[in-house]
Amino acid sequence: MEGLSASVSAEPEKGFGARTIDWIRRHLWFILLVVLPVLVSAIYYGLIASDVYVSEARFVIKAPDQKRSSTSTLANLIQTTGLSAGQEQTNEVLDYIRSRNALADLSKRVNVRATYMRPGTDWASRYPFFRRDSFENLYKYYGRMVNAHLDHDTGLAVVTVKAFTPQDAHAIDAALLDISEKLVNRLNIRAQAKQIAEAEGRVQEAEARVRNARLAMRGYRNTERLLDPAKEATGVLQLSTELTGQRAALQAQLQATLAGAPRNPAIPALRSRIAAIDAQIAGQAGRATGTNTGLASKLTQYENLLVEQEFSTQMLNTANASLEQARAEALQQQFYLERVVEPNTPDMALFPQRLYEILTVAGVCLCLYLVGWMLVVGILEHRPEN
């Protein structure tokens, strides 16, 4: 026992530095995969990361109630519709806010590039973050800092803007609402102009149709030398009726004369007059019907031209009514942007959530380390022994 104690006491004890180096060697992978990332994240989020302020605004696209004037059924058929529903308009505005056009329009009001390159901002958060300064890279960064979405619970459009100062966040958010409102006005003007242009086109088509119908009617009258075949046919029928009555009277006189004085010298004259009236009746009948040039055939063509003229005139009246209605609606704003929540100027930074970010890094690194450790242990247990 004394010899063993002597041998143990003879071994030199390791110093604190040596023990530390041994501990580091044994836990090297834990230090590299867990301790070091957590330490870096704690330094960055605790001391370096810049505060990020968030400004939020909410809006909705509305359409005022419009009372349409009472028009005929034909007018309703050719009447053009206005803009789409307010929900669709809201989606269009949200797509615009997320687009490159919105960034270009926003840059005319606010210096977006200088806002996110503000001195004093940490290198990892500011623009361009080791990338070339270009519009495309600025648009990608803009997509990270600006969010526009639809709240399905309330039906409101929500626009949130992140910036490194409260004033910048408010300025960008307010400018986005202003250019969105101008977009809605442009869509209104475009739709109204299209509606009026379509109505004017229908008026021009109806005027051309009326003009052609009147020219066709004038050509028919000049060719046939008739103002109104219907009135002409009425006159022919009246004359035929009168001639038929005269013939009946002469025929009765002739029958009475033959019965009382068969040799009366007036009988040949009566027969001549009856024959002449028969010829006139036959001529009037031939003039009205029975030939391709009769009034009956001419009346059919005339009625077709008359129907076309009346229908084209009705179309013109209806088109003019629709045009006046389109112009009246153009004087009213079809859709408008209603600001439910104005952009706020935040008084407290919401990001980064420093403790949450550090704990997240620690949890992820620890999980990765444990998964790797389990894999290594499993491989070592199943390796073949020499």
Name the DSSP class of 351. Answer: B
Please state, in angstroms and rounded to a whole number, the distance separating the CA atoms of residues 365 and 359: 10
Tell me if 103 is assigned to some domain: no
- Tell me, yes or no, whether 248 and 325 share the same domain: yes
Please state, in angstroms and rounded to a whole number, the distance separating the CA atoms of residues 112 and 122: 17
Q: Under DSSP, is residue 199 helix (H, G, I), strand (E, B) or coil?
A: helix
Tell me if 285 is assigned to some domain: yes
Tell me if 301 is assigned to some domain: yes
| Longest distance between any two alpha carbons in the chain, whole Å | 194
pLDDT reading at 95 higher than 60: yes
- Tell me, yes or no, whether 239 and 316 share the same domain: yes
Render pLDDT for 152-198 as a digit per residue (tens, 0 to 9).
999 899 999 999 999 999 999 999 999 999 999 888 888 888 888 88
Tell me if 6 is assigned to some domain: no
Taking each helix axis from N to C end, the angle separating 354-382 and 36-43, rounded to the nearest 10 degrees, works out to 170
Which helix (DSSP H) or strand (DSSP E) does residue 249 occupy? helix 229-260
- Tell me, yes or no, whether 235 and 325 share the same domain: yes
- Tell me, yes or no, whether 301 and 264 share the same domain: yes
Render pLDDT for 110-159 as a digit per residue (tens, 0 to 9).
999 999 999 889 988 999 888 899 999 999 999 999 999 999 999 899 99
Which position has the higher pLDDT, 70 or 353?
353
Q: Is the dihedral of CA 362, 368, 371, 372 positive or negative?
A: negative
Answer yes or no: are the C-beta atoms of 158 and 151 closer than 8 Å.
yes
Split at pLDDT 50, 70, 90, the class of 231 is: low
CA 105 to mean position of chain CA atoms: 21
Answer yes or no: are the C-beta atoms of 270 and 248 closer than 8 Å.
no
Cβ-Cβ contacts under 8 Å for 258 (sequence gap 6 or more): 267
- Tell me, yes or no, whether 290 and 361 share the same domain: no
Tell me if 380 is assigned to some domain: yes
CA 280 to mean position of chain CA atoms: 73
* Strands lying side by side in the sheet with 336-341: 146-151, 156-163, 53-62, 336-341
Tell me if 111 is assigned to some domain: no
Please state, in angstroms and rounded to a whole number, the distance separating the CA atoms of residues 39 and 51: 20
- Tell me, yes or no, whether 311 and 238 share the same domain: yes
Split at pLDDT 50, 70, 90, the class of 304 is: confident
Tell me if 265 is assigned to some domain: yes
Which position has the higher pLDDT, 72 or 320?
320
pLDDT reading at 201 higher than 60: yes
- Tell me, yes or no, whether 243 and 323 share the same domain: yes
Peptide bond into 128 cis (omega under 30): yes
Mean pLDDT of 242-271: 72
pTM for the whole structure: 0.65
Token duo for residue 282: 């036959």
Tell me if 152 is assigned to some domain: no
- Tell me, yes or no, whether 361 and 297 share the same domain: no
Split at pLDDT 50, 70, 90, the class of 369 is: very high
- Tell me, yes or no, whether 300 and 361 share the same domain: no
**Number of compact structural domains in the chain:** 2
Domain carrying residue 303:
225-330
CA 3 to mean position of chain CA atoms: 98
Please state, in angstroms and rounded to a whole number, the distance separating the CA atoms of residues 280 and 250: 14
